[in-house]
Amino acid sequence: MDRGWGFLIGLLGAVWLLSSGHGEQQPPETAAQRCFCQVSGYLDDCTCDVETIDRFNNYRLFPRLQKLLESDYFRYYKVNLKRPCPFWNDISQCGRRDCAVKPCQSDEVPDGIKSASYKYSEEANNLIEECEQAERLGAVDESLSEETQKAVLQWTKHDDSSDNFCEADDIQSPDAEYVDLLLNPERYTGYKGPDAWKIWNVIYEENCFKPQTIKRPLNPLASGQGKLLPNTFYSWLEGLCVEKRAFYRLISGLHASINVHLSARYLLQETWLEKKWGHNITEFQQRFDGILTEGEGPRRLKNLYFLYLIELRALSKVLPFFERPDFQLFTGNKIQDEENKMLLLEILHEIKSFPLHFDENSFFAGDKKEAHKLKEDFRLHFRNISRIMDCVGCFKCRLWGKLQTQGLGTALKILFSEKLIANMPESGPSYEFHLTRQEIVSLFNAFGRISTSVKELENFRNLLQSIH
């Protein structure tokens, strides 16, 4: 009898354990699962999945893109890092050596880049030796033909038009300098704390769209610690239209991408002889672990993939601009310029072949009047964010923040210029749609940063799996 009751009690207990989910003890989630288990499958508002992006980027695109970005045309970027912050005066400048930016000396920048930013036509390139060297990027050479001079003036006018999504940087200012991006890589500088979080607070608080019914200000950063408050954004994000959701996700994706770079190129060890940079797994987990970030980390990573798709789509759309026979990546080295254009076109055709591009036709597809207002709000919000980059206290962070913001702004400009691109002449000046050298350099380098982030996610996934 006792044995029968014991068996019955044991059987009932087993049934209860199984029905309540307490049967076999589930193994705890690994560190890799806590960061990446939700970063898989299809992305919101997209028909593409994470795994397809990983394969396409890491094995087909990333190596060739890195080679292109190491060329002279793309490694030199002119920027004014001395512009004052337009929003507040109490900027605490980072005094660490790693925050500093080393500008190029005059003789380090190829003459073709310094003197011929608009020399896209064969006629202009043939006249380069006869032209007096200009001191500033963007200067107009009087020896150019009347047609070419007219085109330059049209381009300059268009660059300042309301179609741009970024505040134009004053690269003709005496304070603007060339920077070698390869010698000033984006990596962890030690710039953090209230000053750094203030930048992202202002970006999220004052520039991301919110429902009109919210009665209290939303604070995306809890107590300055860098953790998003639980259920703050995503509790209302689902109620927004696709354009406003996309805007937030682009900013979040850019933020995530930057944090991946900082975690992947972290100062691990420093001696009086050398510095050792590498992957900081703890830093990565603090920013993206599902538990440590109260569920926000994986969402941030998915937004990074969303940003990747947006910029990938823009690059596929702008292919006709670069395919024109008179367009050149002009540096003055004819052989290298031709090779670089061939490589650039190979990359763009590869991008064009991507099977699951983001469908931007869902943007601003409603009532024309309402769509126009929404597009204008979209543009003004983003221009404001580009101005906030002048408030970053770390000059190296400011450099890469300005470049990546301009690159994303250029991508948006391309996506909203589809008809203008389609109507471009096959050769000769393009008055309606044009990209300056600044926009071209920032567009490809910004996408290069996102491509690097996707590649680094594979590295972090492997590192996290190896510690268990």
**How many residues are recorded in the chain?**
468
Binding-site entries: 187, 189, 200, 252, 255, 287
Binding-site entries for FAD: 187, 189, 200, 252, 255, 287
Longest dimension (CA), the chain: 110
Q: What are phi and psi of 436, to 5 degrees?
A: -75, 170
Number of C-beta neighbours around residue 312 at 10 A: 25
Q: What are phi and psi of 177, to 5 degrees?
A: -135, 155
48, 104, 166, 397: the active-site residue = 397
DSSP codes, 264-314: HSEEEEE-SS-EEEE--HHHHHHHH-TTTTTTHHHHHHHHHHHHHHHHHHH
Structure tokens, 293: 């970030």
Active site residue 394: yes
C-alpha 32/C-alpha 81 separation (Å) is: 38
Amino acid at residue number 360: E
Structure tokens, 246: 């996309």
C-alpha 39/C-alpha 193 separation (Å) is: 28
C-alpha 438/C-alpha 171 separation (Å) is: 9
Give the list of residues 6+ apart from residue 70 with CB closer than 8 angstroms, or none: 182
C-alpha 336/C-alpha 326 separation (Å) is: 16
> Which residues are identified as catalytic?
394, 397
